Structure 1
Amino acid sequence: MDFILAFAAGLLSFLSPCVLPLIPAYLSYMVGSSVTEISAGPQKINALLKAALFVAGFSIVFVLLGISVSSVSRLLSGHLELIQRVGGVLVVIFGIHMTGIFKIRFLYMEKRMRLPGSAKGRSFGSFLMGMAFAIGWTPCIGPILSSILIFAGSMETLDKGVALLAVYSLGMGVPFLLSALLIDNLSVYLRKITRHLPVISIVSGVIVIAMGILIFTNRLEVLGQYGSLFNL
């Protein structure tokens, strides 16, 4: 169940208002032309390859973040209860921010890395762009990613924490790859989904709040109990 939650968090990050509307721009930069100009099979394969490199770029950064957080948690294992309480409160605050009940200004801060024009349309440019996307810590995925990082820090082992971030990256990566496959009709699908972004944001916030409460009360094993139902 932990990994199902992490995958869902990655999917919700992809659907966030700061990511979804920018997908055509990301793909356009990666393939070196407008998405409306892409229709032939070889062009789609090229877009899919560049999208895969983009996903690899941000996945590496997210996994490295998971390793860092999990390693620090191991060093502070003697204060694990305090870390869980503080982390739980922070996750709940992030969730409330996502629902729109109130806004936290610093969560809207982002640091964008500008890539050289020579990287446009090149394979290494797609990989670097994926890393820049992750390092930029875009405001909409910040609360969800922070929640997953805190969740990973509460895992029993470093391997499980890292695996959690890998699954989170997969949750974001699969929709990116599907976007590349559907690139010729992407604008049609995006218009349909964009209409529901406010509701998606509220649902995401509620899920994050619930996750924060479980972390605060040290009841994460509840997720495992529900997950065991799928193994019946």
Structure 2
Amino acid sequence: MSLYLLSFLAGIVSFVSPCIIPMLSGYFTFITGLSLKELRNLPDNKELKKEIFLKTLMFVLAFTIIFTLAGGAAGAFSKLLKEYKQVLNFIGGAAVILLALNILGLIGKKGPDHCKIPGAEGKGKASYLKAFGIGIVFAVACSHCIGPVLYSILIMAGSLGSISSGMTVMFFFSTGLAIPYLLASLYMDKIIKAIHRTWQVEKTVNLVLGLIMLGMGVLIMLDKFTLLTAFTAKLLPFKLPIGM
């Protein structure tokens, strides 16, 4: 349960990545065919808002499918090599630790501050199918935008050694990332202002997330991940109808 919850929260945190805002503005411009100035002064048009929401739903559905399948692939790979579980746990844990250090800003260079989605330069309003296609492109071509968090969760999904668990972990991550997108489609002006306020505490968010990832990386490396799940289960005042 603890990893599912962390995956969900990591998805939400990924949305406030510094490169998401430029991409978000370009995305809404693309699917509506309106300029940023027109979007900022958007009238209370229920039909247009419904259209934006449904197209965004197609967008998030696409990257949810890709990320969930990636989680299953990671679990399948680990399952096939279960006789090398200790080695894989050590390598995977070490990778999560390195990614955590990157989130903490201790190693590596700062990632790109924007993501330009290929195919979103064209003029005119995008169809529902194109919105779905852009979601696939985002998952494949723009994953570097949320790289450290995404790859950490993906590695942890693979460390479970189960296709279903790997897919579930990445589904929760995708859901956490999808919810802010859907909210943004309904309240574009307000959500963007809220994200800018979040940037003011970006270092604190990265510190907390980085330390959590660091601890999980150590537990994976030592094959002691069950200690965290057991500890979290004691802290939660309720139990969800899912495993872990």
Q: TM-score, normalised by structure 1?
A: 0.89
Task: Specify the SS of the correspondent of 2:203.
Answer: helix
Judge conservation of contact 2:32–2:124 (CA < 8 Å) in 1.
no
Judge conservation of contact 1:31–1:50 (CA < 8 Å) in 2.
no
Gaps of 5+ in 1: none
CA shift for structure 1 position 172: 0.2
Question: Which moves more between the two structures, 212-221 or 177-186?
Answer: 177-186
Q: Which amino acid aligns with 2:6?
A: L
The alpha-carbon distance between structure 1 residues 114 and 203, as it changes in their structure 2 partners (threshold 3 A), is same
Judge conservation of contact 2:75–2:158 (CA < 8 Å) in 1.
yes
Task: Specify the SS of the correspondent of 2:223.
Answer: coil
- The match for 2:210 among 205, 208, 227 is 205
CA shift for structure 1 position 78: 0.5
Match of 1:36 in 2: 40
- The match for 1:99 among 92, 101, 104 is 104
Question: Which moves more between the two structures, 36-45 or 117-126?
Answer: 117-126
- The match for 2:118 among 78, 99, 114 is 114
Match of 2:242 in 1: none
Match of 2:166 in 1: 161
Q: TM-score, normalised by structure 2?
A: 0.85
Counterpart-to-counterpart distance in 2, 1:109 and 1:189: 19
Judge conservation of contact 1:95–1:209 (CA < 8 Å) in 2.
yes
CA shift for structure 1 position 42: 2.0
RMSD: 2.4
Q: How does 1:25-64 map to 2 (within 5 A)?
A: 25-33=26-34, 34=36, 35-40=39-44, 41-64=46-69
Match of 1:10 in 2: 11
Question: Which moves more between the two structures, 28-37 or 93-102?
Answer: 28-37
Gaps of 5+ in 2: 240-244
The alpha-carbon distance between structure 1 residues 186 and 150, as it changes in their structure 2 partners (threshold 3 A), is closer
Runs of 4+ in 1 over 4 A off after TM superposition: 107-113
Say if 2:193 is the partner of 1:188: yes
Counterpart-to-counterpart distance in 2, 1:21 and 1:207: 28
Q: What fraction of aligned residue pairs are identical, expressed as a percent?
A: 27
The alpha-carbon distance between structure 1 residues 85 and 119, as it changes in their structure 2 partners (threshold 3 A), is farther
Judge conservation of contact 2:9–2:176 (CA < 8 Å) in 1.
yes
Judge conservation of contact 1:67–1:158 (CA < 8 Å) in 2.
yes
Q: Which amino acid aligns with 1:13?
A: S
Counterpart-to-counterpart distance in 2, 1:118 and 1:25: 11
Q: How many residues align?
A: 231
Question: Which moves more between the two structures, 164-173 or 13-22?
Answer: 13-22
Question: Which moves more between the two structures, 184-193 or 108-117?
Answer: 108-117
Say if 2:130 is the partner of 1:125: yes
Counterpart-to-counterpart distance in 1, 2:209 and 2:100: 7
Counterpart-to-counterpart distance in 2, 1:214 and 1:109: 31
